[in-house]
Amino acid sequence: MSVKVRFFARFRELLGTEIIAEPANGSSIALLVDGIAQKNREGYNAIFDEHGTFREFVIVMQNGKRIETADAGTVIVADGDEIAIFPPVAGG
Amino acid sequence: MMIRIQTDDVDVAAMIAAAKVPGTGAVVVFDGIVRDDGITEMELEAYEDVAVAGLEKIAVEATERFGLLHVSIVHRIGRLAIGENIVVIVVSAGHRHEAYDGSRFIIDELKHTVPIWKKELTRDGGRWVDGEHGHGAGKPQE
């Protein structure tokens, strides 16, 4: 199974633009992102709090659709998914 | 309706010309500019597919709510100098109130919901512009 994980803005600078991951079947979004973010302590701390849960302002998308961070631990990733993780938006 | 995210500058005159569809009584142009807040440049990035879809949704909603006749939105990404255009929104309507209200609705929604980020570059490095905090805690957007 292959899943693309994309980070934007500050998270991108800390963790990389686009990561192709091969999670085990049944992996949740939270588990997948946690595993990738472990490679950079600052990046991990930007996204997750001391309990290892998504910080309240982090935005999570699966194939372009918002997923509530509270649900990211139970939403399972599928082959070909694109997961996006980003801070609050600031366009305009 | 014309929605784009691009690195190139924006042809505002062409956008105004395109907005003058039959029935137009007012065209409102919003042009967001890189302000000199002690920065050297600004760097913008977008989650492009999702940002374009988000802008299209806002344009449709504004058209329905305010009875707009035409909407174009061009948002730039990449490195921009002070004074450059960041985002240009051109709307037309039969009357000025609808055009003003529709234009304001679009820029306000854009700032809250569309995945675009700005980094202010300074002599010492750079700083990401804070987004709308708490947005991630809300209900998922459609």
Distance from CA of A25 to the nearest CA of B (A): 25
H-only helix segments in B20-95: 48-66
Contacts of A54 in chain B (CB under 8 A): 136
Helix segments in A1-92, DSSP class H:
9-15, 29-37, 41-47
For residue A65, give the nearest of B87, B136, B140 by CB distance: B140
Instruction: Give the 3-state secondary structure of residue B44.
Output: strand
Q: Which of B139, B141, B113 is nearest to A92 (CA)?
A: B113
pLDDT interval class at B133 (50, 70, 90): low
Query: Which DSSP string do the residues of B99-125 spell out, in sequence order?
Result: HHHHHHHHHHHHHHHS-EEEEEEETTE
Q: What is the CATH number of domain B2-129?
A: 3.90.1170.40
What ipTM goes with this model? 0.94
pLDDT band at B135 (very low <50, low <70, confident <90, very high): very low
Which positions in chain A have a beta carbon within 8 angstroms of at least one beta carbon in chain B?
6, 8-10, 12, 54-61, 64-69, 84, 86-92
- Domain-wise residue ranges, chain B: 2-129
Interchain CB distance below 8 Å, B132 and A88: yes
Q: Which top CATH class is A3-86?
A: alpha beta
What are the CA-CA distances from residue B117 to residues A69, A86, A92, B11, B44 (Å)? 20, 10, 9, 22, 6
Q: Which pTM was predicted? A: 0.92
Per-residue pLDDT of chain A (92 residues; tens, 9 = 90+): 999 999 999 999 999 999 999 999 999 999 999 999 999 999 999 999 999 999 999 999 999 999 999 999 999 999 999 999 999 999 99
